[in-house]
Amino acid sequence: MAFSFAHISDHHLLHNEDELKLGFSPGYAFRKVLQTIGNQLAGEIDFLVSGGDLVETADFESYEVAKRMMGLRAGDTAPGPGTLNAEGLEGLPIYFLPGNHDDRENFYRGLYPKQVSYGLMNVGFEHKGVQFLCLDLSPEVKGDMSDETFGSLSARLTDQPTIILTHHPLVKVGAKWLDKYLADDLDRFWDFVSKKKVLATLSGHVHISYEQEVRGVQVMGTRSTAFAFAPQDEKLICLWPPHIRVVTVDGERITSRLIEVPLD
């Protein structure tokens, strides 16, 4: 049965919705993204995935601000879902991945209050016959395909169609200063998943939208809802429109499109 979902990432929300970083308001941009999803996608998508770095400084208060913005009814344990209740998104399920800016304990306490373990979030959920596997590559800026994470990957991948969700990217994106943060052992990862029924991967972290194919697997990243990075070797912050990626799954066929969110 065909279905669609939306992927957003790297919100970097601050201690209040109006607070600025480098003259930019992540809260304002995130609100615009939620409004766009509510106006354009509420009847089309089954759920929303937030791909990590929900907040900038991972104190518990920042998560409370994020929850109020979303009208979030938190899920019990990871990966949820929680439920949105703001900007025309009443009742829409949402799944959160942690990023390197997310303190694992505060992340779980804020978003999954009945979670008893605060370690790496290597978990999964199923939707209409498709497995979604959330892999937590590291709480640090550089990815690490640890034995724990690879063990979870090995244990969960079967013959079921699967989409892998990560915060850290799984491919180079054409920017040397970002590509140096790739996990060192991704060849092992691709050797393994190419033999399984992995339909696609979705990632954040680099604030850049991209689409590639690796060994028959679609590999996608989604631009930050906050500030973007230019895909070049030197760091350059850009005030480009946030992206929402809409992914449609039809059997084992994956298609996607990007929606740009104007900030005026």
Q: What angle do CA 66, 81, 229 make, to 5 degrees?
A: 50
Model pLDDT, residue 163: 98
In tens, the pLDDT along 104-122 reads 999 999 999 999 889 999 9
In tens, the pLDDT along 121-134 reads 999 999 999 999 99
DSSP-derived letter for residue 16 is: S
More confident residue, 1 or 61: 61
pLDDT of 23 over the 90 cut: no
Nearest Cα residue to 203 out of 182, 226, 184 = 182
Mean pLDDT score of the chain: 95
Neighbours of 64 (CB within 10 A): 15
Model pLDDT, residue 185: 85
Instruction: Compute CA distances 231 → 1, 208, 209, whole Å.
Output: 36, 7, 9
Which is it for the CA torsion 41, 84, 8, 198, positive or negative? negative
Does the predicted model carry a pTM greater than 0.85? yes
- Residue percentage of the chain with pLDDT more than 70: 100
Q: Kindly state the average pLDDT of the residues 63-82.
A: 96
pLDDT of 65 over the 90 cut: yes
For 96, the token pair is 């959160």
Sort 109 into a burial class: Cβ within 10 Å, 0-12 / 13-18 / 19+.
Answer: middle
Nearest Cα residue to 178 out of 230, 100, 214 = 230
DSSP-derived letter for residue 233 is: S
For residues 28 and 30, give the distance between their C-alpha atoms in angstroms, rounded to a whole number. 5
Find how far residue 147's CA is from the centre of its chain. 22
Q: Kindly state the average pLDDT of the residues 151-179.
A: 95
In tens, the pLDDT along 211-239 reads 999 999 999 999 999 999 999 999 999 99
For residues 262 and 48, give the distance between their C-alpha atoms in angstroms, rounded to a whole number. 20
Domains and CATH numbers, the chain: 3-260 (3.60.21.10)
Model pLDDT, residue 117: 86
Model pLDDT, residue 136: 97
CB 39 within 8 A of CB 261: no
Nearest Cα residue to 201 out of 173, 163, 167, 172 = 163
Residues 6+ positions from 37 with CB-CB distance below 8 Å: 6, 8, 45, 48, 87, 88, 89, 244
Model pLDDT, residue 2: 96
